[in-house]
Each structure stands twice: as structure tokens, then as C-alpha cells.
């Protein structure tokens, strides 16, 4: 079990214990499968491990929780050299370390395709979910969107992605610090951007039983997404809004919130009574256009 | 996410919260992969779900923990009808319900083979692991061994297993009540029998840095294992000791422990200073013979 990484404390015992404590324990599971969530010719084993873990940690971020660690079930083909899963676990380990966490447990199996199931464990107040936004709340987003889609678009076209775009796809950074900051500063609802702004804004509005209006002019667009969009004669904001897997956070903040933060945070919409999500770009209605991984 | 079972509370939110509380939170992950841990022609989808969950719950039992619930990542081939994963989750759900737990989260993906990763979450004192046995402690085992191996032997020979043996393989019962009872009555170390008595006794002795002697005459043999062994001219105790996946518990109990319980519990060996495991049958040395799933 040494292959589970240098930070894999306490393995070798079947069950791992963590102290209960006063708050709430946050839990989430995410599975990444070769050919569905990643391709071996796009990502190194280390990046596959990082990305699977970061994607799960992003759920903790959206819950306003701090990371304790993760349990990892790894399936690799029998023909695969041990070096592959050592590298993959190094990526898991690095993503956890960056979040202040450790490997809490693991299981290895052979299987036809490579797959990584990550259960993240954190600690929080339990007060934040995708439900809870109120009419009049602003919709805010961290970071810049569309970088991951720009990388994907390049690979699908058989081109080498822009390095900054590739980094967004291969090594997304879960917004754990930002998530806790937003939770501490009055966020009423939060979700992470895995399906893309267009889709995830809909999840937030539906869970909160409200209507939501987004003005796409305000969407912060990753520079590589701007280049990719313009190369394809698309509007950058639309390219970025219907991207996916940016792992930024989308938060509902009370009306008086000003957005003065030490990280990038942009107001892009507002909740209202009713239901459904509407989009405008420079005030003109835009039809939603979805995104479904690279299936 | 309704397919994750009627007891799948709180899904639809990305993170699930449980109260921290005074004790320790116990965590363990287990992955079951088609063709490695189960075969579709041997088990129904519901049994696959039960077995994957019970096998993970068995780790909680060996930690003396009570079950809170589990997070489940399920991979099924794209061609698979929805009914398959509904049935599989019914099995997960039933195993959790029998243990007093619920589904705490889930993720679904397509993939080439069916796979189920289960992270179990429980609560306990954190005092019990496979380390901690002392010289002079007795080695005790719950239930009867070899039933699962009897089923496997039949399938591999192309025969229909004895129904009681099949039940032991398809629907193992995690010994959660027994595990807590043993922990409360002085157990110094505990492990669940997944690799077979011969192998797991070695794990317990090695983790506790002690020698261990087992008298196989004392091993409680499942009736179907006795029949299967005798049909193959094997000694039933040897057949049962080198079976696997019985999911009974193996516990080190202090010298004065009498074994008066409301469940089946048998003294089969004793820890001593030193290292290594020795086996006798009616006092005569027996060479260990391993068991490696059905690979």
C-alpha cells in the first residue's frame, strides 16, 4: 500500500478513524473512468490522479468545507506497469496535499479500463448547499471560465492545446479557500462548475426554486477561451458559459454584498421569484446551448 | 439520482453532511470489479450490490464500528438497461438497511465493465485495529467458514452450488453486532476474513508483531464446506481455513475470555512471542495453502 503515496497515513489497517468533533463531516464521491472522463493520450497518469481528486475536492469547496482527506479506489488493467499507479497516486497525493489533506484509505483492483473513485472527506458547518438562494441575491462566479473547454476543443480537433488551457483541464484547482470565504461571508447557496455555467446555474436556480437571470457580458473569460472562441467565430462569453469542468464556484450572495475579495470574483446575474434561467448578452436574449463532456 | 435507492437521503446536493460528534468516524473503501470480484453469470445485479456493500461493511465490523452509511460509485456499460443499476442499488440499499445505514452519496458513470466502489462510514471508539494483540491472547472466530469457497468450487467446476453455500457467497452478512460486542468485551485486535483464515491470521499476527498458532480441528466448518471438502477427499478444516470471502471476524481476546456469547464464537488459536503463523490439525503440523480469489 506504499504506492498509495507518502501521505497515505494509517493504511494497512482496514478502517481509518478520524475524530468526530463539533462541526459536520462533509462527504462526497466522484468516479472518473478512462474513455468517459479522461483519455490516456491527453493526460499523464499523474494528471489523471490530480484531476479525479480535484474534481471531488471541488464538491467540498462548494459545500464551504475544509478538506481532511480522501479514500481512493483505483482500477488499472492487468498489463499496466506498477509505475502507472504509483504516478497516478502521486497526482492524488499532490492534489490532496495542496488542499491540506491526506490519503485516508485505498483499494486497488485490476479491471479492463482505468478508473479512479475518490471519496472526499471534509469538515464544515453544513449550512451551504445548492438550495437556499433568495430572490434578490446576486450570482457570483470565481476565476475565469472556458479554459478547460479550449483545451478539449483543441484535442478534439487534433491540435495541441494552449499550455494555459491544458493546465485548466489537466490540473484544475479546487476553490476550497474561496468556498470557505464565501460561506463565511453570507453565501446562501453554492455549486461548483462541472457541467458548465449554463447547466450549473440551472441546477442552482432549480434547487433554490427561483428564477435566475445571467448577463453573459459579465462572464470572466479565460484568455485561451477567448482565442479559441474567436478562432471559431464564436462569442467568447458564450463559448465560456457553455464550457465545462472549470471547477470554479458559483455562489448566491446577499443583495448588499460588494465582492471585495482577495481572489477573482465577478457578479454575473441575479435571482428572482419564479423559475427557469434566462441569458442575455449585452441585453439581448441568448438561447442556452449545452455541454455534455466529450461523449 | 432516485435510482440510488429509496434510502438515498440528501442526494441532489453535492456534499452530504453528517454530525461529527464525540467518538471517531470510521472510513473504509472497497472496490468490486466484474470479472475480478464477481461474475455476472453467478450473481444477480442485486446480489452484486449487496455483496460489494457487505464486503465494505465487514471492514467497519472489524473496526468495532457502527454503520452510518455509504457512498457508492457505480460504473455500468452503456448498453446496460437502467433496470440493472436500479437492481444493483436495491442490493446496496438492502445491505445498508440491514446494518442500520443509508446511502450518503453516489456517482454514476458508464464504463466497459461493471464496477462498484463503496466507501463505508461508521462511528466507533477507534480503539480496535489489526494491531494490538498480546502474547497469551486467544484467537477467536465468529460463525462458520468455507461456505463461500464451496459455492465458488461448484461454479468453477460448472456445477450449481448448494443453496446455503451460494447464499454465503452472494449475500454475506457483515458481523457488525458481533464486532461491537467483541470490541466492548476486550478484543485487542480484529480483522475480517476476506482472504481466508490462513492468510488473514497471518495479517493479524504480523500487524501485532507476534507469533500465532492455530489448531485447525477447532475451526468451525460450514456444512456445505464439509460436503464439498469430502467430495474432493480434502480435510474439511483445511478446505475451510484456506477458503476466502467468508466475512466472519477474527479477534484476539484476552486470556481469561470465556467466549460466552449469544452468537457463534470459537477459540481456534493463541498468540505467542515471536513471529509467523503455525497450523496443526489434531496436533500434527499442516503446511499453509493460500487462496487468491478466483483469479
Q: What is the ipTM of this complex?
A: 0.90
Residue A267, helix vs strand vs coil: strand
pLDDT score, position B7: 42
Q: Which domains does chain B have, with CATH numbers?
A: 20-124 (3.30.1330.10), 138-286 (3.90.650.10)
pLDDT score, position B262: 92
**Which of A20, A27, A122 is the closest to B24 by Cβ?**
A20
Q: Quote the CA–CA distance of B111 and B76 in Å, as a whole number.
A: 6
CB B250 within 8 A of CB B133: no
Residues of chain B with C-beta less than 8 angstroms from the C-beta of A14: 28, 59, 62-63, 129-130, 191-192
Q: Does B206 touch chain A (CB under 8 A)?
A: no
Q: Does B31 touch chain A (CB under 8 A)?
A: yes
Residues of chain B with C-beta less than 8 angstroms from the C-beta of A29: 71-73, 105-107, 117, 119
**Which of A28, A104, A126 is the closest to B105 by Cβ?**
A28
Q: How many CB pairs under 8 A join A and B?
A: 196
pLDDT digits (tens, 9 = 90+) for B217-238: 999 999 999 999 999 899 999 9
Q: In chain A, which residue's Cα lies nearest the Cα of B111?
A: A33
Rounded to the nearest 5 degrees, what angle is found at the Cα of B84, between the Cα atoms of B33 and B158? 60
pLDDT score, position B13: 52
Residues of chain B with C-beta less than 8 angstroms from the C-beta of A34: 111
Q: Quote the CA–CA distance of A111 and B35 in Å, as a whole number.
A: 8
Q: Quote the mean pLDDT of chain B.
A: 92
Does B144 have pLDDT greater than 80? yes
pLDDT score, position B1: 35
Does B137 have pLDDT greater than 70? yes
CB contact under 8 A, A29 and B75: no
pLDDT score, position B111: 87
Give residues 48 to 77 of B whose Cβ lies within 8 Å of A.
59-60, 62-63, 65, 71-75
| Least confident span in A162-171, B2-11, B167-176 | B2-11
The set of cell numbers assigned to B102 is 443509508
The set of cell numbers assigned to B209 is 508483531
Sign of CA dihedral B75, A74, B73, B128: positive
**How many CB atoms lie under 10 A from the CB of residue B115?**
31
Q: Quote the CA–CA distance of A47 and A168 in Å, as a whole number.
A: 11
pLDDT score, position B252: 98
What backbone torsions phi and psi does residue B54 show, to the nearest 5 degrees? -60, -40
Does B279 have pLDDT greater than 90? yes
Indicate the pTM of the whole model: 0.91
**Which of A13, A62, A110 is the closest to B129 by Cβ?**
A13
What is the arithmetic mean of pLDDT over B45-53? 97
Burial class (CB in 10 A: 0-12, 13-18, 19+), A34: buried
Does B51 have pLDDT greater than 80? yes
Q: Quote the CA–CA distance of A102 and B143 in Å, as a whole number.
A: 36
pLDDT score, position A13: 52
What stretches in chain A show pLDDT beneath 70? 1-13, 289-295
Q: Give the minimum alpha-carbon distance from A222 to chain B in angstroms, rounded to a whole number.
A: 25
**How many CB atoms lie under 10 A from the CB of residue B150?**
28
Q: Quote the CA–CA distance of B120 and B107 in Å, as a whole number.
A: 15
Residues of chain A with C-beta less than 8 angstroms from the C-beta of B110: 33, 36
* Residues linked to residue A192 through DSSP beta bridges, in sequence order: A249
CB contact under 8 A, B27 and A15: yes
Amino acid at each position: 500500500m506504499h504506492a498509495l503515496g507518502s501521505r497515505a497515513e494509517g493504511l494497512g489497517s482496514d478502517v481509518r478513524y478520524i475524530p468526530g468533533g463539533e462541526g459536520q463531516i462533509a462527504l462526497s464521491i466522484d468516479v472518473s473512468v478512462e474513455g468517459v472522463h479522461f483519455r490516456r493520450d491527453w493526460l499523464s497518469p499523474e494528471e489523471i490522479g490530480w484531476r479525479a481528486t480535484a474534481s471531488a475536492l471541488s464538491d467540498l469547496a462548494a459545500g464551504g468545507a475544509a478538506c481532511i482527506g480522501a479514500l481512493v479506489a483505483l482500477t488499472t488493467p492487468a498489463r499496466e506497469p506498477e509505475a502507472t499507479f504509483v504516478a497516478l497516486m502521486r497526482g492524488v497525493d499532490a492534489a490532496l496535499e495542496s488542499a491540506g489533506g491526506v490519503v485516508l484509505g485505498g483499494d486497488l483492483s485490476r479491471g479492463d479500463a482505468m478508473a479512479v473513485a475518490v471519496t472526499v472527506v471534509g469538515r464544515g458547518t453544513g449550512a451551504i448547499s445548492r438550495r437556499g438562494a433568495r430572490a434578490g441575491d446576486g450570482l457570483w462566479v470565481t476565476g475565469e471560465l472556458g479554459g478547460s473547454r479550449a483545451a478539449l476543443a483543441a484535442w478534439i480537433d487534433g491540435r495541441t492545446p494552449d499550455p494555459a488551457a491544458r493546465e485548466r483541464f489537466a490540473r484544475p484547482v479546487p476553490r476550497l479557500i474561496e468556498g470557505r470565504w464565501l460561506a463565511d461571508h453570507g453565501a446562501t447557496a453554492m455549486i461548483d462548475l462541472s457541467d458548465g455555467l449554463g447547466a450549473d446555474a440551472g441546477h442552482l436556480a432549480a434547487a433554490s426554486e427561483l428564477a435566475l437571470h445571467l448577463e453573459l457580458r459579465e462572464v470572466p473569460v479565460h484568455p485561451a477561451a477567448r482565442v479559441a472562441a474567436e478562432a471559431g467565430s464564436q462569442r467568447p462569453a458564450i463559448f465560456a458559459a457553455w464550457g465545462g469542468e472549470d471547477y470554479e464556484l458559483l455562489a448566491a450572495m446577499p443583495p448588499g454584498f460588494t465582492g471585495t475579495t482577495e481572489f477573482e470574483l465577478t457578479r454575473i446575474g441575479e435571482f428572482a421569484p419564479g423559475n427557469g434561467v434566462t441569458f442575455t448578452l449585452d441585453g439581448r436574449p441568448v438561447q442556452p446551448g449545452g455541454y455534455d463532456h466529450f461523449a
